Structure 1
Amino acid sequence: MTDHTAPPRLLPWATTEGKPAYLIGDGTGYLARVADNIESVQLGMADDLLDHVDDMLTDDACTPAQLRFLVERMRESLTDVRRIADSRGARLPEPESGGVAP
């Protein structure tokens, strides 16, 4: 008999102690929907930040302080995007054996 239990989902936020937060369940509950919405917002913010980066890179009047602020926001956004990628990657189904070898 195979086990169809979903692996714990890495949530797009940390605990109050700064540790990863996980959700155990089938992914259809209220908290899973909240996590989906937060991930969507985080990815949208990353897109907006990339647009802002494009603008700043073409602006010769950018100050070092503005660029430092931008890099700090990029680090925060990249941390969020990496967490989302880790969460989604961990929930991908295992490849079936018998496939094409690399």
Structure 2
Amino acid sequence: MNGKRREERGPDTIRLLPWTGPEDKPCYVLGDGNGYVSRMADDIESIQLDMAGDLLGHAAGLLADRKVTGAEIHFLASRLTESLREIKRVAESRGARLGAAELDPDRNRP
């Protein structure tokens, strides 16, 4: 493993993953952020953020249309709710990792 890469991510930490398991329970990975699952999680988070941006653009267009139906608004609200749930999980995961980095005294050394 590349020593520099490990220093960028720090020691092993628990990471909330951007997907859930059975019964909608949270999934976690323990590692230094360089493993296959961590890289896959990074990719999925990126996709989720991009999709949320696309959905917001679609929502703005749909809400500007005065002829939109109740069914279309319901569908939009459902997709926005799903997206918000995903983005909240990304924010929680990233916030936890930032907090862990601040607690690691070796991480802030030159």
TM-score class, shorter-chain normalisation, is 0.7 to 0.9
- The answer for unaligned runs of 5 or more in structure 2 is 1-9, 105-110
CA root-mean-square deviation: 1.5
Q: Report the alpha carbon displacement of residue 25 of structure 1 after superposing the two structures with TM.
A: 0.3
Q: Which residue of 1 aligns with 2:107?
A: none
Which digits, 9 at most, give the CA deviation of each residue in 1:4-45, with x for residues without a partner? Answer: 743300000011231100000000011111000000110010
Q: Report the alpha carbon displacement of residue 95 of structure 1 after superposing the two structures with TM.
A: 6.4
**How does the TM-score come out when normalised to structure 2?**
0.79
Q: Secondary structure at the match of 2:31?
A: coil
Aligned residue-pair number: 93
User: Is residue 94 from structure 1 mapped to residue 90 from structure 2 by the alignment?
Assistant: no
Over 2 Å off, 4+ runs: 4-7, 93-96
How far apart, CA to CA, are the structure 2 residues paired with 1:34 and 1:95? 25
Q: Which residue of 2 aligns with 1:48?
A: 54
Which digits, 9 at most, give the CA deviation of each residue in 1:28-78, with x for residues without a partner? Answer: 011111000000110010000000011011101100000000000000000
What percentage of aligned pairs have identical amino acids? Answer: 51
**How does the TM-score come out when normalised to structure 1?**
0.85
How far apart, CA to CA, are the structure 2 residues paired with 1:29 and 1:6? 11
